[in-house]
Amino acid sequence: MMRTPEEERIFHALSQIQTPACDLSGVVEQAGRQRRARLRPGRPLAAAAVLCALLTIGAAAVGISGAWRYFAPSLPQNAVETVGVSQTAGDYTLTVVDAVADDSNILLLLALSRTDGRPIDPEASLNTTSMHLNLEIEAERGAGSSGMLGRQFSQDGTTLYLLFNASYVTDQPDTLVNQPLTLTADGVAVRLHDSDGLYHVRGDSPVSLAPLAEQENPDFSDTHFRGNAEEIARAAAAVGCDIPLPLDEQFPDYAVLGAAMTENGLSLVLRSGRYTSSDLVCTDVFPDTLIDTRTGEKYRGSSGQGATLEDGTRVVLWSFQDCPLALDDLPYLEVEVSYNMDRVLSDQPFSLTFTLGKSSGISIPIEEPLELDGLTLHPTELRLSPLELRILFADGYEAAFSIRQEGTAPVLHLADGTEIATRWGGGRYLGGGTLPSVGFLVEDADGERIFIDPGQVVSITFGNLEIPVEH
């Protein structure tokens, strides 16, 4: 799915995790560690502080060590399984160090280093605009999501530790345990950013759209934009224009091919695709702003829809936010573009296969209906692990997911009398006879995850239910 320029700005703001170098075998507390900014509902600060202290002490008591203490200080040691699988590809070695998994969630601690022992580029990554990191499972049907939760360099800068998270819903029980898992990475790269800090490279000068004014540009003002993007793009590109963009010497294939009026206003067709120039890889170009040179007014690119021309050329039909301009204004318009671009450090791929022998979770059958403010649901099973609490339902997925609107979540009761509230973590449903489920997470007052040891939990209350946890 393509991000709009506005979505790119939001993605950048939410994806920044910067942590200073540290001794991974030494100090537990690292002052000044910056954290990912998140929007979370408010919580009672005192209760959250007590909870965080309790679980951090518990983690220290069981000897949590290594990089885990910086990513997940509350993670119980008995949940961690050593993997220790490595592969060298080109100038880099990737290691799956440890894993924590339940039936459908997994955390992987990864380590990336250079084969020559030299420090790694501070911005090196396995997950950029051109490089992707994925965990593959063996399941006939399924869906998953994954992402990087954090990065941390060793004190000497020679090892980059990464925390990778993945979640799956499939038609098989125990999806992630006792079967081959394969971690793949396309290579190592640095995602380039502009002086504004955003992950794009802006063209050095605006591009005049005056050549389009000489064409018979189509009007699709009464046509649905997304549903007819291909028809619109083909008609707009048929005028035969090919306006070069900045960085034309490095990436000559990118160009403005046409314009059209749509229900979203004035729209442009840009050639898209992935192109390489030396050690640079550009995966796309997008219009940052449309400029009216008469007034200096700028209109931000807001929506892009991919399409294919008759000759197979991939293009994107772009529109602009709150733009009142029309085809007659083209002689006076310019467009500023930006590129999604990487500097490739290694294009040698990784593929590491391993098998996990244990699940960190426990399963508890539920036989009683759940009553929540007049809503009656029929849970069948509760699954509790350090990664989440998940409840499966015999009801339809819409009914199960309505729990979110109820604003009610389970409460964990620990052996020492502490009560821990959870929050909505998302619903999952694959269809085809599988049961819908709802997950809940535990966080501190700053919105940071806390990883519960199921062995500390003696019961769980949710609505009218009090569910004992036997060990």
* Percent of all residues in the chain with a pLDDT value above 90, rounded to a whole number: 68
Report residue 179's pLDDT band, with 50, 70 and 90 as the boundaries: confident
Gyration radius of the chain over CA positions: 26
How far apart are the C-alpha atoms of 75 and 360, rounded to whole Å?
A: 11
DSSP 327: G
Is pLDDT of 10 > 80?
no
Q: What was the pLDDT predicted at 142?
A: 55
Q: Tell me which residue of 443, 452, 434 sits closest to 360, measured CA to CA.
A: 452
- More confident position, 148 or 56: 148
Q: What was the pLDDT predicted at 12?
A: 42
How far apart are the C-alpha atoms of 408 and 42, rounded to whole Å?
A: 15
- By the 8 A CB rule, do 24 and 70 touch? yes
Report residue 143's pLDDT band, with 50, 70 and 90 as the boundaries: low
How far apart are the C-alpha atoms of 443 and 64, rounded to whole Å?
A: 19
How far apart are the C-alpha atoms of 160 and 97, rounded to whole Å?
A: 12
- By the 8 A CB rule, do 266 and 256 touch? no
**For 62-187+347-355, CATH number?**
2.60.40
Query: What is the number of alpha carbons within 13 Å of residue 275 lying toward its C-beta?
Result: 17
Q: Where are the domains of the chain?
A: 62-187+347-355, 204-340, 362-468
- By the 8 A CB rule, do 46 and 423 touch? no
Phi/psi at 459 (5° precision): -160, 165
How far apart are the C-alpha atoms of 410 and 464, rounded to whole Å?
A: 11
- By the 8 A CB rule, do 258 and 327 touch? no
Q: What was the pLDDT predicted at 266?
A: 97
How far apart are the C-alpha atoms of 391 and 372, rounded to whole Å?
A: 15
- By the 8 A CB rule, do 342 and 216 touch? no
Report residue 178's pLDDT band, with 50, 70 and 90 as the boundaries: confident
How far apart are the C-alpha atoms of 225 and 321, rounded to whole Å?
A: 14
Q: What was the pLDDT predicted at 277?
A: 96
Torsion 346-135-166-283 (CA) sign? positive
| Mean pLDDT (whole number) for 36-42 | 28
Mean pLDDT computed over every residue of the chain: 85
To the nearest 10°, report the CA torsion of 360, 366, 369, 370. Answer: -20
Q: What was the pLDDT predicted at 276?
A: 96
How far apart are the C-alpha atoms of 171 and 142, rounded to whole Å?
A: 7
pLDDT in tens, 422-460: 999 999 888 877 889 999 999 877 777 889 999 999 999
Q: What was the pLDDT predicted at 316?
A: 97
For residues 17-40, one letter each, b for 16 or more C-beta atoms within 10 angstroms of the residue's C-beta and e for the rest, the string is bebeebebeeeeeeeeeeeeeeee
Q: What was the pLDDT predicted at 380?
A: 95
pLDDT in tens, 298-336: 999 998 999 999 999 999 999 999 999 999 999 999 999
> Which H or E run contains 261?
strand 255-262
| Mean pLDDT (whole number) for 183-187 | 96
Report residue 30's pLDDT band, with 50, 70 and 90 as the boundaries: very low
Is pLDDT of 23 > 90?
no
End-to-end CA distance of the chain: 44
Q: What was the pLDDT predicted at 196?
A: 76
How far apart are the C-alpha atoms of 217 and 188, rounded to whole Å?
A: 43
Regarding beta strands 219-220 and 255-262, do their DSSP bridges make them parallel or antiparallel, or are they unpaired?
Answer: parallel
Regarding beta strands 255-262 and 379-384, do their DSSP bridges make them parallel or antiparallel, or are they unpaired?
Answer: unpaired
pLDDT in tens, 52-97: 433 433 333 333 447 888 788 889 999 999 999 999 999 999 999 9
Q: How many CB atoms lie within 10 A of CB 328?
A: 11
Is pLDDT of 373 > 90?
no
How far apart are the C-alpha atoms of 385 and 299, rounded to whole Å?
A: 48
- More confident position, 56 or 190: 190
Q: What was the pLDDT predicted at 405?
A: 85
Report residue 4's pLDDT band, with 50, 70 and 90 as the boundaries: low
pTM, two decimal places: 0.79
